[in-house]
Amino acid sequence: MRRLWTQRIADPVKALLRQGLTAEGLALSLAFGVGAGLFPVIGATTFLGLAIGALLRLNLPALQLANWLAYPAQIAMILPLVRLGEWLAGSPPVPFSVAQVVADTAADPLGTLGRFGMTGLHGILGWIAVVPVVVLVLYVALLPALRGVQMRLRPWSPARSGRLGSPASEAP
């Protein structure tokens, strides 16, 4: 598991920081990637992530990495987002099973859209309500860790070591 974490997540993040991406830019890209990845319409998150990344000029590889890593959470959050959207819209809860929707979509996509269209809109409404909080919390949580990684990746400098002056800059 540790090797998988290192190869699939830690090493790509370090590579992005080595290429000059700032900790702030990376944290924002990862946070928006998870936010897009939670969108409650399966199959739409990649396109949504690309649109958000292009609009906000975020790092697309980092955004998509986080987007794809959020897939298990996307599945887990569909029903809670639908229920939140129903509550926000004042609609009664509709009997709903994620497994049934996935199976129905594979068998008859247009028929499923007709049967679960409003449910999908409720899920999107719930997502719109939740995603700003998710992005903000993730950004604030990721930023200190990414700044620490960025500092460790920088070459040695007098400012990092606590020695601010250098012999050439000191007054005689």
Q: What is the pLDDT of residue 30?
A: 95
In this structure, are residues 20 and 55 in contact, taking their beta carbons and an 8 Å threshold? Answer: no
Q: Is the sign of the CA dihedral 150, 139, 21, 13 positive or negative?
A: positive
| pLDDT tier, 141 (very low <50, low <70, confident <90, very high otherwise) | very high
Give dist(CA 172, CA 158) in Å, integer. Answer: 19
| Tokens (6 digits) for 152 | 């460790």
69-109 residue pLDDT tens: 999 999 999 999 999 999 999 999 888 777 887 888 888 88
The pLDDT tens digits of the residues spanning 25-52 come to 999 999 999 999 999 998 899 999 999 9
10 secondary structure, DSSP code: I
CA distance linking residue 79 with residue 116, whole number of Å? 12
* HSE-CB for 147 with a 13 A CA cutoff: 7
pTM of the entire predicted model: 0.76
7: how many CB neighbours lie within 10 A of its CB? 10
Distance CA 39, CA 123 (A): 8
